[in-house]
Chains A and B, each alone.
Chain A
């Protein structure tokens, strides 16, 4: 079976600065892949390229065998690629329920004359999965940082993606919230393919099966948590040179 996502020799330069250099990564369907690396290694840039916020300077990105370069972000979302951004990006002025509803109707065809009832039930069940049912009627802007992240995950789920990109889903979360986030992601395993950027190593260990490591825009290595953890190059990348 063809891989779900293929990143082929992708480079991205901003002005003179190379954020990504000749990176090749393959993701199979159903995987739960962690993407780690020290700050500035290009992880978020990679996500932004996949989802269409930026255009690669060179290289190709294939989704389900088709190149997505040149496709607008909304086209990619309709194909099945959805992202939870690093900086929470929800509809602050709208109710939590409406936020999820928008996830449901944005990706589908909205000309269908409206039985909003069916959609509302779907939205409510998504809210249930992420644990925000009591907040359904409140404005998203009033949620805490962690709750907003869950909401954004819920909105992403509402688009029924094949590939879900989570950019630092536990940033700013305490231990309890992190645990709940891990639970949510575990429940999604198998249904869809998930890529997670994270700094919290324990979290990465519990949720992902394979881990890809980037450093300074370059692909460093790939493997299971244990393999990666003991890899000298990874240790050096995180600790910096001058250790030996």
Chain B
């Protein structure tokens, strides 16, 4: 049976590669060359963040409005290390920044998750607590300008450089390929994990938590693991985001970014891996094609999208595609539902 698992992983990877290639070509030729690619790279990175939200929500059944805290911490870890803000710039600063951007969110997720899950804070209570925490974190960041740069943030964040490989990701095409490759690898990794025993436990968790607990699984521990994994991915995406955009500010930690990711997942299709990436590309892409819409209309647009998706498109875009084509399959132990 593990050859089926391998096949499933590879096919998901291929589908992701296909998506990246297709959108890459589209954005390159229609979006005016390298600058179009740069847009797409941002969407892919945000898609990785959305993947982390999907992992927690779509697969783990826990809706959080505060995942951007982890994303933002990833951004700031990278920015602080590579700009030498509090200490001299170390060698391989980019890699170190990314690594810290993964490690710090993981540590916080462990501590926070321990209190929340072993404290039986679940369901809607969990969602509200994450909402409160999101506020808290963005307020706290503003009280520490030396680190977080206050209202102005941290400018001139250098792009990723891998000195030991002699690679620089400053050029748009390089950055795009890196993002695409990372997307494919991460999606494959997640698919592999979700098809494992752990993944089956996760399916059981979101299907019938009580039954799982009475069969002997430590539900709190499971939730903690998903939470930490999600935080790590969010932090990684954050680091990449900082490297790609060259600028970080404290609103990257807040509610707006968190909710945007939830929209991506809802639009693309909960509980599917590609859906998160697709949602990010489609939603952000729409705003770009609508002519660089100003922030106030963007929020309005997202609000309307939320309601429309909830009322009419519960399975998201991918659900629609699945029904139409019957080709993309979400996997053995899962269901595509709203």
Give A contacts to B, CB under 8 Å. 51-53, 72-74, 77-78, 82-83, 85, 89-95, 98, 101-103, 105-108, 110, 114, 116-117, 119-120, 155-156, 158-159
Residues B197 and A114 in contact, CB atoms below 8 Å apart? yes
Docked-complex contact B332 and A95, CB < 8 angstroms: yes
Task: Known pairs A73-B213, A116-B197; list 10 more (Cβ under 8 Å).
Answer: A53-B214, A77-B216, A78-B216, A91-B208, A91-B211, A93-B335, A95-B333, A102-B204, A116-B5, A117-B1
Q: With a CB–CB cut-off of 8 A, which chain A residues contact B196?
A: 114, 116
Kindly list chain B residues whose C-beta atoms are within 8 Å of the C-beta of A93.
203, 207, 335
Residue interface bits B202-229, CB-to-A below 8 A is 1, else 0: 0110011011111111110000000000
Q: Is the CB of B208 within 8 A of A106?
A: no
Does B203 contact A117, Cβ atoms closer than 8 Å? Answer: no
Smallest CB separation, B329 vs chain A (Å): 14
A106 to B218, CA, bound (A): 8
Q: Is the CB of B325 closer than 8 A to any CB of chain A? A: no
In the bound complex, CA of A74 to CA of B197 (Å): 18
- State whether A120 touches B1 (Cβ < 8 A): yes
The answer to whether B298 has its CB under 8 Å from any CB of chain A is no
Which 7 pairs of residues, A with B, have the shortest CB-CB distance? A107-B216, A77-B216, A106-B217, A106-B215, A106-B216, A91-B207, A78-B216
Interface residue tally for chain B (C-beta within 8 Å):
25
- CA–CA, A148 to B198, complex, Å? 24
How many A-B pairs with Cβ below 8 Å?
95
Residue among B2, B215, B218, B335 making CB contact with A102, cutoff 8 Å: B215
Q: Are B201 and A102 in contact (CB under 8 A)?
A: yes
User: A-contacting residues of B (Cβ < 8 Å)?
Assistant: 1-2, 5, 196-198, 200-201, 203-204, 207-208, 210-219, 332-333, 335
Q: Given contacts A93-B335, A120-B1, is CB(A77)–CB(B200) below 8 Å?
A: no
Looking at the complex, which one of A83, A114, A116 makes contact with B214 (CB distance below 8 Å)? A83
Q: Are A92 and B208 in contact (CB under 8 A)?
A: yes
**Shortest distance between the CB of B117 and any CB in chain A (Å):** 12
The residues of B that contact A72 with a CB separation of less than 8 Å are: 213
Given contacts A91-B208, A117-B2, whether A98 and B203 have CB atoms under 8 Å apart is: yes
Beta-carbon contact of B212 and A102 below 8 Å = yes
Nearest A residue to B2 by beta-carbon distance?
A: A116
| Contacting pair A74 B207 (CB below 8 A) | no
> What are 24 A-B interface contacts by the 8 Å CB criterion?
A73-B213, A74-B213, A78-B216, A82-B216, A83-B214, A89-B211, A91-B207, A91-B211, A93-B203, A98-B200, A98-B203, A101-B200, A102-B201, A102-B204, A102-B215, A103-B215, A105-B200, A106-B204, A106-B217, A107-B217, A108-B216, A116-B5, A116-B196, A116-B197
